Each structure stands twice: as C-alpha cells, then as structure tokens.
C-alpha cells in the first residue's frame, strides 16, 4: 500500500527564524520545522509531522514492552484524591500536583504517575499467587504543574509517558521484573538511536529502594550526573555517597576562641585568618517542618538542598530567614558553631568525620573557634551526604576522580517494594493458603521527552536529523520546480510507496528550489531524493541527510537502493 504524503496537502509551516522564547536546540528546531506548536506555557500541540515521530517512538516502546510479556491497559488521567491520600502523596507532591474540584466540591487530581490506581486495579483483579507475576503498562498523557515550564517539550506541564508496574509475590520475583525492564529499556533506546547512560538514582516521592535513571547526555539536559573514567560507576549527583571515615590518633589542642570581627561568611573568615576555606566548618541553618536544623559541611563545599530534601522526605525543607533569628538569641547569624548548640538537631556531611578538627563559629558575634573536633567538642545527630558533588570527587567504587556531565532523563526504574501494597493491603492467597503481601516495581519512559532528546543529540546546523526508526518518513522526495521534475518526483514517490516506504514528497507549486532544499534539511528525513537538472534523463540525486554524501541514480536504482 502506498505511503505517500504530498507537502502540497500537508499542514506544515516552516520558519526561517528561531522562536523568541526558545533556548534549547530541540525547542528551536521542532517549532521551526513545523512539528509542534505552543498553546500556553508548558502546553504543546503535536502537528502532523510531530505526531508521526511521537507515534514511532510509541510503537518502539510498545513493541519492547509487549516482548517482555507486559499487558497494555489505559487508566483515567482524572483521578480521585483518596488513593493518593492513602499513600501520603497528595501532600508529598506539593505544588507540582494539579488539583481540582468537581461541581460537588469533591477533590481530584490530574495523574503524574499511577502507582495507586494500578495497585487498586490488581487488588480487584488478582486474588491468588496463580494470578502473579503480572506486568501492566499504559502510554498516556501525564500532568505536572511545573513552576517554570521551559525548553519546549522537554519540560512541559502535559507530556506523554509510558508507565508500567510489576506485581510479584517475592523480592526475587521483583528483581526479575526489574531486570526485564532494564533490558527492555536498553533495547528501546538503542532502537531509537539515543545515546544513554544508566545511573544510580534516588527514589524521591516515588518511594522504594533500588532506583536507576536512563540519561541521554546533552548540553540542554537539566540533570547533572557523574561517571568514573576508570570503572563503570555512574550516578545522578543526588545519589552519590561519600563514606564516613573516622580519623583516629590525631592530636588536637583545646578549643581556642579567635577574635574575628566582620567575618560572617566563609570567604571573609578564610581571608582574615589566612587559611583555606576547606579548614573551616560551614553551618547552614534550615527549617525542617518548621524546626530549625543545622547542617555542617566543609567550608569549601556547598549544601545540595535537593539531596538534603531527599534524605529528609517527606518533611518540608526550607532556608531560615532573618525573622527566624529573632526568637533564638542562641543562634548568632554568621557565627554559628556546633559546639554548645542546644535544642538544635545537627546534621553533618560524612566529611565532618569523628576526629576531624575545624575552625567554626563560636556562637557569639565577631568570634570563631579553632580546634573544634567532631566527636570531642560536638556530636553529630545524623550523618547525611549532602554536599554538591564536584568534578574530581573520588569515585565511591575505585577512588578515581569523577567527571560531571549534563543529560536529559528519558527513563527511570524503581523497585518500589511494598509501600503501595501496604497502603492498600494488597495481598494474594499464597501456595500455603496464607495471605502474601505483593511487592511492586514502577518503570517510566518519557515518550515525548525522547523526541526532544533525539533532536538534541542528532540535529546539526541545517536542522533536524532523525534516525530512520522514528523519522516521519523514510525518504523526502524534492521536485526542484519545473513540471517535468514534479511529474518525475510524484512518479518515483508512488513507486517508493508501493515498495513499502514512507514517503514525503515536496510537490509545492510556487516554492523556489532553494526553499524546498532548506526545508528538506530542516525537517530531517534520513534520505533526500531530488528530481533536479537531470530529470529529463530519468536521473535523480540521492543525499544522505546525516553524512551529506550524494550520488546520482536512475529511478530504478534509486528505488532499489532505498528499498534495501
């Protein structure tokens, strides 16, 4: 069956200039090439060419999910509040959750993920161990009320996602389901042509234990990850850990108070004393569910508030303000030290190990103290790895200096365990006739985000440059302008379509050859076939969009070459 789309009948409007609000390459090119159109901040329409690419990504994802025995369903996007209250996520999600009320005042939400609803479905449908294991998935629109929607479809408030969920009766079964998904994701991204890294990650509001992200390295990425050049270690920066290594046998003198006027910052203190910032102890005050907590890190490092929030979730973490000091005269702004602190929980990074000595605040204005030793002069309530990871930090596996890179998150897999099963008392009857609590996994692929990630990784100076698997067509036939050339272009397009190829043919009248060639480069179909100056001889020019290689072929040879 012919698969030919004439551009004279296609709704596509290409642009010569970048959109004024576009920052990333994918945002610029997908709009300019007529793939997507902005409706509002973070809300996008998929136009015919874009919908083809999106459907091709969806097809690959669906085929690989079906290959591991997963069953596709479709659940509602409009969801009741009660299931999310049962797991605590109604509050944990915070401002990013779209909440709404119906005409009767009942609370609903637009689903960001569907763990609760899938758990209820399985509780209703599966009653015996014989019904498990089962993997269910859907490909559906999800919603997140982003504070700053940006980067086009990379960070929208409405997006396409594949979410799947595994249900097993044992931890060993969960491990097998997790491994099946991990392997399927590798195949998905390889078929899509996406360069990717698998990195250790944190579970966040999803809950559970083991968690890995699939990241597509790209300058436009909003995720920062680390990798080791000497071993296979890779992790999201929020998942990097530093081992606690107590210092034994070091002799330190007694605590000595230092007169340090006008030194409320690490920089001013280090300059005043002529010491490196790494010799000082920085104490950041935050509020955790309203309670003031001190966080200690080396003076040359910054606190990663995202890491801290993940460690303390679901508690809310925020920085203290000047007003918070009014009722706490024991907390001297700019001169806080852990020694002598009362009624303040003290969290420290593992680098503040027992036996290490520091210069830190003396808890009175204009004074600091030196030889303040962890474990001798102050105690740490909790050790948490909370510093911002830096290039060159030691690899947790082999000690080599880590490297930092930016990437786009395209997939995430979780071993959830029994968090959601516990919330809904999801049990099945076991082989011994007794109830068995089900264990779960959750697995997501950003379908629409994968389109943007591919654009970021594969585009060049001329425009988009799609891999064949997801391109809107296999070949873009261009008629250079004259009637003879248009006739030949349409004829060869029909032959290619009859051979099973997807064909986009530029037969637009009144459009110059230069504009047609520019649009062909911008739209990014893998092969461009031009009916040009040698059309009268039945000779066409075939161009590889990625390499730029060109060759002249007869119609028969061109059809044979493209058909493969």
Q: What percent of the chain has pLDDT over 90?
A: 87
User: What pLDDT, in 10s, does the model give residues 448-469?
Assistant: 999 999 999 999 999 999 999 9
- What is the C-alpha separation between 116 and 244, in angstroms, rounded? 37
- What is the C-alpha separation between 449 and 537, in angstroms, rounded? 45
Beta bridge partners of 141: 160
Three-state secondary structure call for residue 86:
helix
Number of residues assigned to the chain: 564
Average pLDDT over residues 405-431: 96
For the chain, give the mean pLDDT.
Answer: 94
Q: Please give the model's pTM, rounded to 2 decimal places.
A: 0.89
Beta bridge partners of 108: 80, 100
Chain centroid, CA 150 distance in Å: 14
**Residue 310, pLDDT score:** 84
User: What pLDDT, in 10s, does the model give residues 33-83?
Assistant: 999 999 999 999 999 999 999 999 999 999 999 999 999 999 999 999 999
Contacts with 305 (C-beta within 8 Å, 6 or more apart), sequence order: 286, 317, 319
The closest alpha carbon to 224, from 50, 67, 403, belongs to 403
Average pLDDT over residues 283-300: 95
Please give the full DSSP string across 211-228, using - where no structure is assigned.
EEEEEEE-TT-SEEEEE-
User: What pLDDT, in 10s, does the model give residues 228-244?
Assistant: 999 999 998 888 887 77
User: What pLDDT, in 10s, does the model give residues 516-555?
Assistant: 999 999 999 999 999 999 999 999 999 999 999 999 999 9
């Amino acid at each position: 069956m012919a698969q030919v789309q004439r551009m004279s009948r296609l709704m596509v409007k290409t642009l010569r200039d970048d959109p004024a609000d576009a920052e990333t390459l994918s945002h610029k090119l997908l709009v300019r090439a007529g793939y997507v159109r902005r409706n509002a901040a973070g809300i996008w329409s998929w136009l015919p060419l874009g919908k083809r690419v999106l459907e091709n990504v969806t097809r690959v994802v669906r085929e690989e999910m079906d290959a591991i025995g997963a069953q596709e369903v479709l659940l509602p996007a409009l969801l009741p509040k009660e299931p999310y209250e049962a797991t605590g996520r109604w509050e944990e999600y915070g401002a990013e959750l779209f909440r709404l009320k119906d005409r009767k005042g009942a609370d609903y939400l637009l689903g960001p993920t569907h763990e609760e609803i899938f758990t209820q479905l399985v509780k209703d449908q599966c009653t015996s161990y014989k019904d498990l294991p089962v993997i269910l998935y859907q490909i559906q629109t999800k919603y997140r009320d982003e504070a700053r929607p940006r980067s086009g479809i990379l960070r929208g408030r409405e997006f396409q996602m594949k979410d799947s969920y595994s249900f097993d009766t044992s931890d060993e079964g969960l491990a097998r389901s997790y491994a099946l998904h991990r392997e399927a994701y590798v195949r998905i991204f390889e078929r899509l042509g996406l360069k990717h890294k698998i990195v250790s990650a944190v579970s966040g509001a999803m809950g559970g234990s083991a968690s890995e992200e699939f990241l597509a390295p790209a300058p436009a990425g909003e995720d920062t990850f680390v990798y080791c050049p000497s071993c296979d270690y890779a992790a999201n920066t929020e998942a990097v850990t530093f081992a606690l290594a107590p210092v034994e046998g070091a002799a330190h003198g007694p605590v000595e108070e230092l007169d340090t006027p006008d030194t409320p910052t690490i920089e001013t203190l280090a300059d005043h004393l002529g010491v490196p910032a790494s010799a000082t102890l920085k104490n950041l005050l935050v509020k955790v569910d309203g309670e003031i907590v001190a966080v200690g890190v080396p003076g040359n490092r910054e606190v990663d508030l995202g890491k801290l929030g993940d460690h303390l979730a679901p508690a809310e973490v925020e920085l203290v303000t000047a007003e918070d000091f009014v009722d706490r005269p024991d907390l001297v702004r700019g001169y806080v030290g852990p020694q002598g602190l009362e009624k303040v929980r003290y969290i420290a990074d593992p680098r503040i190990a027992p036996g290490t000595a520091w210069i830190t605040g003396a808890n009175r204005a204009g004074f600091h103290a030196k030889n303040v030793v962890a474990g001798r002069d102050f105690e740490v309530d909790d050790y948490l790895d909370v510093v911002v990871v830096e290039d060159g930090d030691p690899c947790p596996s082999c000690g080599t200096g880590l490297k930092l890179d930016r990437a786009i998150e395209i997939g995430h897999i979780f071993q959830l365990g029994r968090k959601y099963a516990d919330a809904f008392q999801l049990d099945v009857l076991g082989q011994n006739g007794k109830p068995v609590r089900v264990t779960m996994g959750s697995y997501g692929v950003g379908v629409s985000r994968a389109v943007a990630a591919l654009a970021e990784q594969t585009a060049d100076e001329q425009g988009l440059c799609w891999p064949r698997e997801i391109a809107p067509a296999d070949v873009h036939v261009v008629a250079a302008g004259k009637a003879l050339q248009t006739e030949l272009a349409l004829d060869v397009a029909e032959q290619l379509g009859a051979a099973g190829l997807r064909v986009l043919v530029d037969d637009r009248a009144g459009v110059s050859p230069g504009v047609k060639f520019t649009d062909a480069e911008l739209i990014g179909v893998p092969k461009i076939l031009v009916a040009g100056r040698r059309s009268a001889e039945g000779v066409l020019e075939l161009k590889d969009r990625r390499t730029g290689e060109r060759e002249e072929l007869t119609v028969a040879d061109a059809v044979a070459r493209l058909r493969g």
